[in-house]
Amino acid sequence: MPHPADARTDPANPSGPIGIMAAMPQELQALLDLMPDESRVQRGGREFWRGHLGGREVVAVLSGIGKVAAATTATLLADAFGVSQLWFTGVAGGLGADVRVGDVVVASALLQHDLDASPLFPRHEVPGLGVSRLHPPAALVTQVADAVAEALSPQALAPGGPLSHIHLDTLGLHAPRVHTGLIVSGDQFVNSAEDADTLRHHLPDVLAVEMEGAAVAQVCVAFGLPYAVVRTVSDRADASAHVDFERFVRSVASPYSLAIAMALLKALPRVAPDGAVAAPQAHS
């Protein structure tokens, strides 16, 4: 059987496919529905879907919940599938004061809030890396934030727009805002005001909490891969989530992440077979 890294033969993308990790089955399905030619490769107990999305070669996969599951999936994407960059889309609990349910947070920094090897290392520091915060490439963060703003613009959500089927007011949601900043990850679903306060106390600039992003970031650092983490806020990490989680993922987070992924794919520079980088497609 050929090594899955043979996916690196697409002349349109000589450096390797784009890895897309989705946190929820509904999100993955929304991506697969738009991949005309996807083929399944099983590895490490996971199903990786190779194909094309928006004209780009991609490998899409369900992350698995929690840091170990996500790190395993990211490692396979990097090492077995030879991806050239890795995107993570999912939902998160909002912790920043103005981060509301239905907003989107793009990570410019990621940290494992439950990593504490003190007194050997300062709290939160990743042993061996000498830092606690990992930073995706600034240019990619900007590209992702721009793609989110475009995908979820008032026009996109208005009648006649591609996301007009999402009735935000029926769901009790505001128009989405895009935040860029610190996302923290840990092996804990944070759903008490006390735990949320503790995180804000230790990390006053935290915007959102989830269970995978910082682990994926650490794997990408190890492999020298650019990465992006983008999260739709599904709850406030306390007991007061006012939108049903499953319903939120199905009716809001999945269409959002699909629209964001498509906008980002469209914005990426195209690499010609000779390695020359073409400008992104004009918006149509």
CB of 219 to ligand SAH, least distance (A): 16
Q: Which is nearer to ligand SAH, 37 or 194 (CB)?
A: 194
According to the 3-state scheme, what is the secondary structure of 30-95?
A: HHHCCCCCCEEEEECCEEEEEEEECCEEEEEEECCCCHHHHHHHHHHHHHCCCCCEEEEEEEEEEC
Given phi > 0 = left and psi -120 to 50 = alpha, else beta, which region is 196? Answer: alpha
Q: Which is nearer to ligand SAH, 93 or 255 (CB)?
A: 93
Q: How many residues does the chain have?
A: 284
Q: Which is nearer to ligand SAH, 156 or 209 (CB)?
A: 209
235/176 Cα distance (integer angstroms): 14
CB of 63 to ligand SAH, least distance (A): 7
**The one catalytic residue among 6, 27, 150, 212:** 27
Active site residue 27: yes
Residues engaged in binding ligand SAH (CB under 6 A): 23, 65, 90-93, 189-191, 209-212, 234-235, 237, 245
Q: Which is nearer to ligand SAH, 65 or 271 (CB)?
A: 65
**The one catalytic residue among 125, 169, 235, 244:** 235
Active site residue 238: no
CB of 189 to ligand SAH, least distance (A): 4
Return the residue nearest ligand SAH (CB atom): 93
221/270 Cα distance (integer angstroms): 24
228/89 Cα distance (integer angstroms): 9
Burial of 27 (0-12, 13-18, 19+ CB in 10 A): buried
Which positions are annotated as active-site residues? 27, 235
